[in-house]
Amino acid sequence: MKKFLLLIAIAICISIIIPRNVYAVDITVGGSTWYSWWNQKQWNKNGSGDTTNFDPTFFYGPALSVKFSNDFNLTFVYLYAKFENEKRDSSGKTTIKHKRTDSDLALNYRLNGYFKIFGGVKYMPYKSSGTDGTISSHSDHSGFGPGLGVSCTYPILDNLFLLANLSGFYLWSNEDFSSDTGADDFKHNYKRYGFNSTLSIAYYIVPAATTISLGTRLQYYKSDYNYEDVDYIDNLFYGVTLTATYSFSI
């Protein structure tokens, strides 16, 4: 929660320091969804690996953009999702549930009519809970760090555009793990780094001042865990995105 409030504080500070030649500010507000699959593979220090495939689910949340001038705009996206996986074997049933947040705050700079570069901060926490037989466990993960990228907007027809972006991020992360027994409780710091890529088609509905975009998104990151028997963890998210936003000026 503290890091989420920090994102909002950063947004306010940026809006104050960016110079504006006119009084009007263009605002775009709406919602975004991402129907995503999640594949996770844990690599152990002995070279073995364990793969977990979570059932696909929806990320959803608000999207906001504030345009201060022809060259600068500030964007904020906050997405939330719940994932679940269930396994059965000779020892019984194992259930894993994750509550995930994926949020980005970025300052964008227009290079020309097609390309923008952007930089900002990413906040990516999640909470995990699991039941293995009669033992329940819980862990809180937090991740916060910088991100950089480039985006492209290419006009296809009147009011129809191709949108693409590619970005990388580096997150300082930590885990706080606890279980019913308390015997294996621990706290551990680690790092996550990876990239996001999206490709979509957007249509601007002029009478409604509304943009609808449909496309795909892929996110990969590596958790450089390095704790006890675990070396690192690969995480791959991929799926379909749908966003609707409304634009106005103040």
CATH architecture of 2-16+45-249: Beta Barrel (2.40)
pLDDT in tens, the chain (250 residues): 555 555 555 555 555 445 545 457 899 999 999 999 999 999 999 888 888 899 899 999 999 999 988 899 999 999 999 998 876 655 566 778 899 999 999 999 999 989 999 999 999 999 998 877 667 889 999 999 999 999 999 999 999 999 999 999 999 999 999 987 777 789 999 999 999 999 999 999 999 999 999 999 999 999 999 888 899 999 999 999 999 999 999 8
- What string of DSSP letters covers the chain? -HHHHHHHHHHHHHHHHS--SSS--EEEEEEEEEEEEEEEEEEETTS-EEEEEEEEEEEEEEEEEEE-SSSEEEEEEEEEEEEEEEEEETTEEEEEEEEEEEEEEEEEEE-SSSEEEEEEEEE--EEEEEEETTEEEEEEEEEEEEEEEEEEEEEEETTEEEEEEEEEEEEEEEEEEEESS-TT-EEEEEEEEEEEEEEEEEEEETTTTEEEEEEEEEEEEEEE--BTTEEEEEEEEEEEEEEEEEEEE-
pTM of the full structure: 0.87
